[in-house]
């Protein structure tokens, strides 16, 4: 199955909910009940109250002119509203950033447990190999022994090196060694995996801040990207994760994973609207080619 097809299938629940409402508009004069049902469907799709409200206000004005009240007219208006929110967060791709950025380009990958941080690190590294870039991985998740092994297995498969310490070591220390090694070996990119942490745990967020400080030592501009990985199946909770990670460590890019399966793709729109952080990557599966650059038009096409 192609990448777009996987995305499209992942978003099918959202799409069906919304288009199901729009189909009821066919051949009918829109009344308050139809408008209310559409609003409910949009809210349940996690687009965010603000975006939905903006759209509903717009539609209520247009509905007075009969033409806009067709299902097609309403769908097009919805596409335009969502595209207006998503276009500004389609920033530079991760590879563009690396091309233009300093060397080594340092990417710190963060997020809560199980969202796909380690596989995202591996998938980016694989891409860099294909582009002829030298990357070095850092096993910054020293919390779980299995996490270091997991990264090592990926690295061997891809053919890149991992800087690792023993389980239980200070993540800031392994990150420091990673930075030193990247400079010494002339690596193009340093990719740092970190332990999953609850955004609500103050001490764990402080640990991340320490990692950031270590990277910035000696006047270095690193990290050049703080990539927050979010699992798109969790809905609104992804927005509060984004807010708190952003507050703690200053997120510069997002990767949204698991947009296959039972994704709640509307959350991408809500996060874009609330935080305006560039969406770099979206993932629709476990394979390397399942992680692709975010494209606002393609996303809206899949969503509606
Ligand atoms: N379906 C699907 N699965 C994914 C995607 N991205 C990652 N996964 C899977 O999600 C699971 C967790 O991925 P990891 O990369 O280990 O997640 P993590 O954030 O490093 O997890 P912790 O280190 O435990 O915090 C793995 O089974 C991945 O294969 C995706 O886009 N779609
Ligand atoms: Mg991991």
- Quick one: pLDDT at residue 25? 78
Ligand minimally distant from the alpha carbon of residue 257: 1
Q: What is the mean pLDDT of residues 236-264?
A: 93
Phi, psi at 257, each rounded to 5°: -105, 170
Q: Is the CB of 11 under 6 A from ligand 1?
A: no
Q: What string of DSSP letters covers 142-155? A: -S-HHHHHHHHHHH
- Quick one: pLDDT at residue 239? 95
* Burial status of residue 144 (CB atoms within 10 A of its CB: 0-12, 13-18, 19 or more): middle
Model confidence at 64: pLDDT above 70: no
Q: How far apart are CA 209 and CA 207, in angstroms?
A: 5
Q: What is the pLDDT of residues 79-101, one digit of tens each?
A: 999 999 999 999 999 999 999 99
CB-CB contact of 197 with 112 (8 Å): yes
Q: What is the largest CA-CA distance in the chain?
A: 70
CA of 119, closest atom in ligand 1: 15
**For residue 257, what is the DSSP state?**
E
Q: Is the CB of 289 under 6 A from ligand 1?
A: no
CA of 120, closest atom in ligand 1: 15
- Quick one: pLDDT at residue 193? 98
Phi, psi at 29, each rounded to 5°: -85, 120
Q: Is the CB of 48 under 6 A from ligand 1?
A: no
Q: What is the mean pLDDT of the chain?
A: 92
Q: Is the CB of 260 under 6 A from ligand 1?
A: yes
Full-prediction pTM beyond 0.85?
Answer: yes
């Amino acid at each position: 199955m192609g990448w777009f097809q996987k995305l499209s299938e992942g978003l099918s629940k959202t799409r069906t909910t919304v288009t199901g409402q729009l189909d009821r508009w066919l051949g009918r004069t829109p009344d308050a009940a139809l408008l209310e049902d559409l609003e409910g469907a949009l809210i349940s799709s996690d687009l965010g109250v603000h975006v939905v409200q903006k759209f509903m206000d717009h539609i209520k004005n247009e509905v007075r002119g009969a033409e806009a009240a067709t299902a097609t007219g309403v769908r097009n208006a919805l596409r335009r509203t969502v595209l207006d929110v998503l276009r500004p967060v389609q920033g530079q791709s991760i590879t563009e950033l690396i091309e233009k950025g300093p060397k080594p380009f340092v990417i710190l990958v963060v997020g809560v447990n199980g969202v796909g941080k380690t596989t995202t690190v591996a998938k980016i590294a694989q891409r860099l190999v294909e582009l002829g870039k030298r990357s070095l991985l850092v096993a910054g998740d020293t919390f779980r022994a299995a996490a270091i092994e997991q990264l090592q297995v990926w690295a061997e498969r891809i053919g890149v090196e991992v800087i690792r310490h023993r389980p239980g070591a200070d993540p800031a220390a392994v990150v420091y060694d990673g930075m030193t090694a990247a400079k010494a070996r002339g690596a193009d990119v340093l990719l740092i995996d970190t332990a999953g942490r609850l955004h609500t745990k103050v001490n764990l967020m402080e640990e991340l801040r320490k990692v950031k400080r270590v990277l910035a030592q000696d006047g270095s501009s690193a990290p050049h990207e703080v990539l927050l990985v979010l699992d798109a199946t969790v809905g609104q909770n992804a927005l509060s994760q984004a807010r708190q990670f952003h507050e703690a460590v200053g997120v510069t890019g997002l990767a949204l994973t698991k947009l296959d399966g039972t994704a709640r793709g509307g959350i991408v729109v809500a996060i874009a609207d609330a935080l305006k952080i560039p969406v770099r990557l979206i993932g629709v599966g476990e394979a390397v080619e399942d992680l692709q650059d975010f494209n606002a038009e393609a996303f809206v096409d899949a969503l509606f």
